[in-house]
Structure 1
Amino acid sequence: MRVADQDSLDGSELVGQVSPLVLVAVDTTSNALVRTLFILAQHQNIQEKLRLGITEARIKRGDPAYEELASLRYLDAVWGETLRLHPPFFYLIRTTSADTMMPLSSPIKGFNGQETSEVLIPKNTTITISALESSCNPD
């Protein structure tokens, strides 16, 4: 999927988005791994299904390389669900570089009684985005 040119990031913006993740990668990786192991210890049925999948892969191909581990769908699902429920960072802080109309997931009623489905975010507005709330919101 290609992003529209006006929505794509230039090099400096991309570095700004990635740098915080790289700087905290060591702690977040170890924390995510410990959290995954803790969840597996609490859910023996999931642990057993995951163990069975990895054991079957080892029987077929020996010790799997990274690419083979990455292709194990249940392992990927367990890892993804752990990161969804327990993101490695709780929030991101960003500042708008231009006036932006932000679409809302559902319409809201303004003070004037009219419904709107987007909100103006003025240039240089600091926005805090909750990774935990956005990943656990059923909508």
Structure 2
Amino acid sequence: MLDARSRADESISLEYFDSGVHDADPQTPSNQDSVRSQTPQEPSPRRAHRKTMSEDEVIGQAFVFLLAGYETSSNTLAFTCYLLALHPECQGRVQDEVDDFYTRHDSPDYTNVQELKYLDMVISEALRMYPPGFRFARDIENDCVVNGQRLPKGAWLEIPAGFLHHDPEHWPEPDKFIPERFTPEEKANRHPFVYLPFGAGPRNCVGMRLAQLEIKMALVNVFRRFTIVTCAETKVPLELKSSSTLGPKNGIYVKIMKRDVGKESPQMST
């Protein structure tokens, strides 16, 4: 994982983002003349009152866009494939659903991929077992009392999403992979805040819909063509690491076999 706090030779250089900011800065000499020629002398009221981002905010957001959407989605894809390799009966249902999908559509898109209800349940269960954001935090804006506990203004409150996702009070047999936990009926009977793979409220993950879409698109294409099975190197259970995101400590090892649709058994891919 790339980390802005690591050594310069191991990370994406901050100077790259700094130069981008300065190149776009209308106050630098190189841009001043072009800005004057393109804009009126008197700024509009909207421009005069527009809130701008600081350099630190621009650099921080650049790293968020670059890293957050990549590692979380790739880890979720890996975890989902791992779980389906361990549960071939669930993988078979996914493949049947995908095969049926392609009898109606030439290719998946944002609209028609929503038809894949069982795949959606599989992804949701993978996110429950291995949430990419194992914990997240919020600043407390005002003094308040929650369940008898006084929370002072300015305190840092950390929400352990991983613990909530494995609480047996809400998730019977929490260590088992059971996609049916996410049928409409099951979701309606469960408190919404015990499932927080993307956070909740106005500050939930801004890339939630994009992440869900790209994960579905990838899995549709994978399971249309391949079957994933365990191999001698597959670790059960997985060793995990949790830094900014949750991921497999030493990678995930599985065997990928090419499907021959219509035949009883898949053939090894070359």
Q: Same fold (TM over 0.5)?
A: yes
Instruction: Tell me the SS of whatever aligns to 1:59.
Output: coil
Determine which of 119, 127, 137 is the counterpart of 2:157: 127
CA 1:41–1:28: 2 relative to 1, 3 Å: same
Q: Secondary structure at the match of 2:71?
A: helix
- 2:141 — aligned with what? 97
1:60 maps to which residue?
A: 104
1:73 aligns with 2:117: yes
Distance 1:53 1:21, change over 3 A: farther
After superposing the two structures, state which structure 1 stretch, 59-68 or 77-86, moved more.
Answer: 59-68
SS of structure 2 residue aligned to 1:61:
coil
The structure where strand makes up a greater share of residues is 1
Deviating beyond 4 angstroms after TM superposition, the runs of 4 or more aligned structure 1 residues are 19-23
What CA distance in whole angstroms lies between the structure 1 residues aligned with 2:156 and 2:108? 45
Give the alignment partner of residue 131 of structure 2, picking from 81, 87, 103: 87
- Post-superposition offset of 1:85: 0.9
TM-score by length of 2: 0.37
Distance 2:155 2:124 in 1: 31
Q: Go from structure 1 to structure 2 and tell me whether the alpha carbon gap of 1:132 and 1:57 turns closer, same or farther (over 3 Å shift).
A: same
Q: Which residue of 2 aligns with 1:47?
A: 91
Per-residue CA deviation, residues 38-80 of structure 1 (Å, 9 max, x unaligned), is: 1111110000001000100101222232321233110110011
CA distance in 2, matches of 1:70, 1:60: 13
**Offset at residue 84 of structure 1 (A):** 0.9
Partner of residue 27 from structure 1, selected from 62, 71, 74: 71
Deviation at 1:34, TM superposition (A): 0.8
Q: Secondary structure at the residue paired with 1:24?
A: helix
Instruction: Determine helix, strand or coil for the equivalent of 1:77.
Output: helix
Cα distance in 2 between the residues matched to 1:51 and 1:61: 15
TM-score for the superposition, normalised by structure 1: 0.69
Shift, 1:96, TM fit: 0.6
Once residues 154 and 128 of structure 2 are traced to their aligned partners in structure 1, the CA distance between those partners, rounded to angstroms, is: 29
Deviation, structure 1 residue 95: 1.9
Q: How far 1:29 moved relative to its partner?
A: 0.4
- How far apart in 2 are the matches of 1:21 and 1:94? 17
**Which secondary structure state, in structure 2, belongs to the residue aligned with residue 94 of structure 1?**
strand
Larger radius of gyration, structure 1 or 2?
Answer: 2
* Deviation at residue 21 of structure 1 after TM alignment: 7.1
Among the aligned pairs, what percent are the same residue?
Answer: 27
SS at match of 1:65: coil
Greater share of residues in helix: 1
